[in-house]
Structures are given as structure tokens and as C-alpha cells.
Structure 1
Amino acid sequence: MPSWILKEYLTCFSPSRSIEASVKTDTALESSAAMTGTVFTPALQAMPHVKSSTGDMLTMPFLDVCRLVLPVIEKFGSSMALVKSDIGGNIDRLDAKYATDSTSYTLLYEIVRKEVAENTAKKSASCTNGLLWLTRAMDFLVELFRNLLAHQDWTMHQACTEAYVATLKKWHGWVASAAFSVAMKLVPDRKKFFSLLGEGNLNADIENFISTFSPILQENHNFLKSVGMDDMKAS
């Protein structure tokens, strides 16, 4: 990848974070990810717990699900390395905010409500921005796997490109779009990629991933839209 594109991609893919942000390692989650099954199994097992008994989105369970999606991204190899770092950084940002007052921030959207009230939500370093771009990145992954199931004749490159157009492209400037196009040239062969996803009923797990995660992500969008924070673009 040309160095100038790489530099811009690092700053533009998700403008809400620095590429130096580390991905939090959680021993319990790693152990869960090592269980027998497909790479989707741990995340699928965690998804039913993202909401409280009253239907509110819980901060840590939602972030845990996103962490458990990271091993899925790793299977793409170097083509998705920056995406993984971006997602991990936004998880860390929200996690750090939660750690400052776990009682007040038990519910995910309380973090956003506080920033909206303080007029800090639109800042590039805000947790609101972090949640928005985290949700958008997960939208991309869901759409990518939807493409792979629905279009058996598509190459990985085509499936990734179409998913990008349907989810992230409209929020990116031309530099970020160009950088993404370059990165997608590094995606693995489709057959090889599927061989890395684990043993079990892979298609069923992918379908479950799509059908279960999509409503969660849509709920994030609905809330962010309700407070005027779902349309921020890359600067």
C-alpha cells in the first residue's frame, strides 16, 4: 500500500480515534473464543446478554460482543488489520469511559446522553463518535457476510467492495475510500477464508450472526439518530 494512502487511511477510516489505541485483551473472552465451533460461536453466545431485563443496551455486554467479533476479523489477515485496530480502539475508548463511573454508565446510551448534554458529542474524540464508528464497522462486517451467503459466485473482493458501498462509503471522503479500495486488494481467497472460520455448521452460524447482530446495531443507529448523532462523516 502506498505510504501516503496508508497514512490517510489510518486517520480517516474512523476519525474518532488514533491508530495507536490498543486492543484490550480479556483472558476470559480469549478462552471462550477457543471453544469448539466456528469463529462466530463466542459472539453468538454473548449476544443474548447485551440487554437488561427491561430491554436497555448494556455497556459491557455490548462491548464484549464486539471484542468477540475481533477473531472473525483476524481471519481476513492483513487486509483487515487496520479495521481491527480501529474497532479495538473504539471499544477501548468506550470501555475507559465506563471505567470512570461504572454505575452511571451501566447502560450504553447514558454515555452518549451525557456527552450530548455537555455539547461534546460531536468532537472527534468523543465516545459518541466512537460508538457511531464502531457500529458502522460492525454494519460493514454483517453486510459482508450477508453478501458471501447470498452470492456464492462472488469473489471476496467483490463481496467486500459491495459491503463497503452499502455501509461505510457514504460516510468517507475520497481519501478514505481510495485507501479502503487498496486494502481490499489484500483480502484472501474465498475458499481459503472459509476454511479458517472453524468447524461446525458454518452457514447456520453466519446466518445467526447476521440475524441476531443486525437488530442490535440498528438499535444503536435508532438511538443515535434520535439525539442527532447518526450522520457524522469523516473529516
Structure 2
Amino acid sequence: MKRKMEERSGLRSAIEELSTLPKVEAAQYDLDAARIPTKPFLHVCTLILQVLDKIGPTMAVLRQDIHQNIQRLEVLCESNPTKYSNMIEILKKEDSEGSARDSTSCSRAILWLTRSMDFMVVLLQRLVKDPWQEMERAVEESYNVTLKQWHGWVSSAAFKVALKLVPDNETFITLLITNDQNWDNLREDMQTLVALLVPLLEHIHSILGAYRLDRLKST
């Protein structure tokens, strides 16, 4: 019960935190004026880890990457909490240093965390539309339209093998629903989270594009 309530609280907390952010425009290219709060971004990424845990071993590699990228950004933010409270400052710093494209850069961490959230948004959209669809197919199709084009053959092959371990849809939905809600409540929360995430992700992608980072593939 305690674990389920904590997870429920995390979902609502992420929604509430995203709700407090100012509205952004995806086409905003004024990098000096742009702002993407780092803390709420990492908060939502942590939520994604909780959902990926429900999918099981299939997402183990992706989950590890997300966790490492979150840690990388957290370490940098701790070095200067005020300056790096805006993710744009992180991108500016590494762009000026010429390190943004390095495999261990925080800029790449932002890129891959954004792509991971793209995957989760598409998966949640599919579940909201049809909660009883075949889970394996939903995960595979969500992966195909978000992450697959950026993964090398090793990651793609590993995903294809692990896909057979995805739980059935009823099991997955049951794991997501907490004791204080039903499917309608969960669906409403999922829709709200998606509605808040989509414009934020579009904005981040536009900024990454301005820094010429949006086409980078896995090394």
C-alpha cells in the first residue's frame, strides 16, 4: 500500500509541477530568453523510470540509460544550483566548450532523456486510446516511431529480443492503478500528463535543433 501511494503521489506531483511552468512555444529560438527548468524536467524523467519498471526487463537498457543521464545532470546542477536551474545554461556551456557532442556530455543526456519521454508519451497515448490492446505491440510500435531511428543495431537487436518479456496489457494496467483509483482516474491522469508533456518536449526539441544536437545517434 505504501509503495503504491508513493507512486500515485509521484504522478500527481509531476502533473502539479508541470502545471506551474509557464507556457512555451515550440518555435521559440531566442536562446537568450528561453528557459527550461531543470528540476521539473528531471522529476518527470524519474516518473518515467517508475513506469518503465512496470513494463519489466524489456526496458532494462533504456531504464539504465535514463538513470545515468539523470545522475549526470544532477551532478552538474549540484555544482552550481542557481546557474544550472535552467537547462539552457547547460547547453550553452557545453556548446561554448565544444563538448556538447561528446558521448558523456550533459547535452547528450538532455537529448536522450527527451527522446525517452517521447517514447513514454506515445505509449501512454496508445494506452489511453485502447487500454486493452496487445501490450507487446503497443511497446514495439511506440519504440519504432520514437527511439528506433536513433539506436544502433546492438540496442535495436537487444530491444527486439527483450520485447517477448513484456507483460500482458491487463497486468500492466493493474500494476499502474493504485488502491485509491480506477481506470477512469488513471486514464485522466495519463491524459493530463501527456497534455502537459507534449508542448514541453516540442520546445526542448526546438532548442536542441538550434544547437544542432537533434540528429545525433547513439554511439
Q: Tell me, yes or no, whether TM beats 0.5.
A: yes
Report the equivalent of 1:28: none
Q: Which runs of 5+ in 2 are unaligned?
A: 24-32
Structure (1 or 2) with the greater helix fraction: 2
Structure 2 CA distance for partners of 1:165 and 1:34, relative to 1, 3 Å? same
Q: Which has the higher contact order (CA 8 A, sep 6+)?
A: 2
**Matches of 2:7 and 2:157, distance apart in 1:** 38
Could you tell me which of 146, 154, 162 is aligned with 2:141? 162
Give the counterpart of 2:196 among 205, 212, 217: 212
- Equivalent runs, 1:1-235 vs 2, <5 Å: 34-35=5-6, 37=8, 40-50=11-21, 56-152=35-131, 154-199=133-178, 200=181, 201-235=185-219
**Code of the aligned partner of 2:18:** M
Go from structure 1 to structure 2 and tell me whether the alpha carbon gap of 1:217 and 1:223 turns closer, same or farther (over 3 Å shift): same
* Unaligned segments of structure 1, at least 5 residues: 1-30
Distance (Å, rounded) in 2 between the aligned partners of 1:39 and 1:98: 21
TM-score, normalised to structure 1, is 0.79
Identity %: 38
Q: How big is the shift at 1:118?
A: 0.8
Change in Cα spacing, 1:122 to 1:37, as seen in structure 2 (3 Å) is closer
Q: Between Structure 1 and Structure 2, how many residues are aligned?
A: 205
Provide the alpha-carbon RMSD of the alignment: 2.5
Flag the 1:71–1:203 CA change in 2: closer, same or farther, 3 A: same
Could you tell me how far apart the structure 2 residues matched to 1:104 and 1:220 are?
A: 18
